[in-house]
Structure 1
Amino acid sequence: MTSPMPAPPYAAPPGPWLRSPAGLGRATAVLLGLVSATDLFACYADLLEMNVAGDIVDGAIGADVVDRADHADALYGTAGIAQGTALVATAVVYLCWLWRVRVNAEVFDASRHSKKRGWTIGAWFVPVVNLWFPRRIVLDCWNASAPWGERERSGLVNAWWTVWLASLCVDRVAYTRWDRAETAPELRDAARVMLFSDAFDIVAAVLAVVVVVQLTRLQERKVLSGELPGPALG
């Protein structure tokens, strides 16, 4: 009697159908660009805050400095609202795109996936595992979507995920220092850290755009190659 074939790490649910990720990919890339734009606006607000606080430290206190401080505070608040709104909208569309490419990747090669499909969304919201599960899911989708026989590549995904995690850490430090700042020197230093944080967020968003565009193209090319084990693109 022959021994049974070993089961794959995760057997895909029955009936996944290929659907083009192009539309969601473009929408996600555009929204990530909007996130970068709001971060850039926030960098400008951070610079104003830093300059005003520096003037106060140097003893330049007058009506002009007070007006500039009010203007900087208003811009800083507006930038925060813009960043939050853009981030929420982008997160919703991004998760829709990621779900689409995850289902497609199951059709390409179900054995490539080490996490169940539900983790595609849930992994981002569960503490601790959200530090590595999303990267693994994107990487599994990437490898399943690559041309047949191509060696697995993780450099781009690893770069994006490393910068993303680093940006979260820098953001936490920046907001903590800003909340605790009471004197002008502390505000100046907090604004400097916040500037670095927003700049780091731009890098993370740009790398995310590259990952989205490249993974979307990989899936489109694999469909067009005609070498599919499952149903046609719907």
Structure 2
Amino acid sequence: MLCSTCRLRPPVTGDGRCALCAGAGAPAFYAPQQYLRSPEGLAKAVVVLLSVVAATDVLAVAAGLNTRHLLTAGMADDFATLDDEAADLADSLYMAAGGLQTFATLATMAVFLVWFHRVRHNAEIFDRSVQPMRPGWAIGSWFIPIANLVLPRRIAGGIWTASAQTNTDGSWRHVPATVMNLWWGVWVCSLVLSQFAQRRYRSAELPEELVDATDLVLATDALDIVAAVLAILFVRKLTRMQGERAALGVYPLGTGAAF
């Protein structure tokens, strides 16, 4: 059974209206977009780019291990037999891997934000009453220091709930958010550790300090790989959920934008 007014959400009042139509939702000026738009094409692009990010992280790990090996081998004999050419090559490979990581991450971030904004707008049609913030925050929240460790996850939670809340008969459907929570937790840990590792690496002077800093950077790269894999699972799962929600057939689809 669906709401007697909007025919979209389960009823919660005696007269058959949902919470939003009964007046518990957002103010009138907070109107959703007119049409759903498929996020599938963007999701595929994000998945490909996240795979590239993971690949650059693997290269960075290999370059970091090579650098660490040269440092530890040099420390064994006070760098008396250190091959200068090998050391220069290791530095070049390490810098090149870092450059590839930066480029891949920036490209992925741009496409991911477009995808995230689109699924947030679709969630506005599915059920805006469970959205904690306005649609524009789906992009803006990522650029606020400190707050970007919390706000995007709140927005993602609202999107997740709106995209999974009903069965074909209008009853509530709960989809565990395990993959979303794991992705967010690992990504935040990676981000925090990365900042700490970079400061340690820049301030390192003694060989022992360089080895310790390199270990931290290696740990960050490993976490990045895990975060990228979890992000792929999150993007695919949420995109599939929105397709299933749209398939209920009670939402207006834009021309040429069907799921």
TM norm structure 1: 0.92
Q: Deviations over 1:205-233 (max 9, x none)?
A: 1111110010001111222232x2x3125
2:123/2:162 contact within 8 Å kept = yes
Find the counterpart in structure 1 of residue 91 from structure 2: 73
Runs of 5+ unmatched residues, structure 1: none
Between the two proteins, the alignment pairs up a number of residues equal to 229
CA 1:212–1:175 in 2, change beyond 3 Å: closer, same or farther? same
Shift of 1:51: 0.5
**Higher alpha-carbon deviation: 153-162 or 35-44:** 153-162
Shift of 1:111: 0.9
Match 1:34 to one of 52, 57, 60: 52
Find the counterpart in structure 2 of residue 203 from structure 1: 226
Shift of 1:43: 0.2
Find the counterpart in structure 1 of residue 119 from structure 2: 101
Find the counterpart in structure 1 of residue 7 from structure 2: none
Q: What is the DSSP-based 3-state SS (H/G/I as helix, E as strand, rest coil) of the residue aligned with 1:225? A: coil
Match 2:195 to one of 161, 166, 172: 172
Q: Deviations over 1:103-124 (max 9, x none)?
A: 1111111111011111100000
CA distance in 2: counterparts of 1:157 and 1:10, whole angstroms: 29
Shift of 1:189: 1.4
CA distance in 2: counterparts of 1:219 and 1:36, whole angstroms: 26
Shift of 1:71: 1.1
1:10/1:111 contact within 8 Å kept = no
Q: Which has the larger radius of gyration?
A: 2
Find the counterpart in structure 2 of residue 232 from structure 1: 253
Percent of residue pairs bearing the same amino acid type = 41
2:36/2:252 contact within 8 Å kept = yes
**Higher alpha-carbon deviation: 35-44 or 123-132:** 123-132
Find the counterpart in structure 2 of residue 216 from structure 1: 239
Aligned-pair RMSD on alpha carbons?
1.8
Counterpart amino acid of residue 173 in structure 2? E
Match 2:34 to one of 16, 24, 46: 16
- Higher RCO (Cα < 8 Å, 6 or more apart): 1
Runs of 5+ unmatched residues, structure 2: 1-20, 167-171
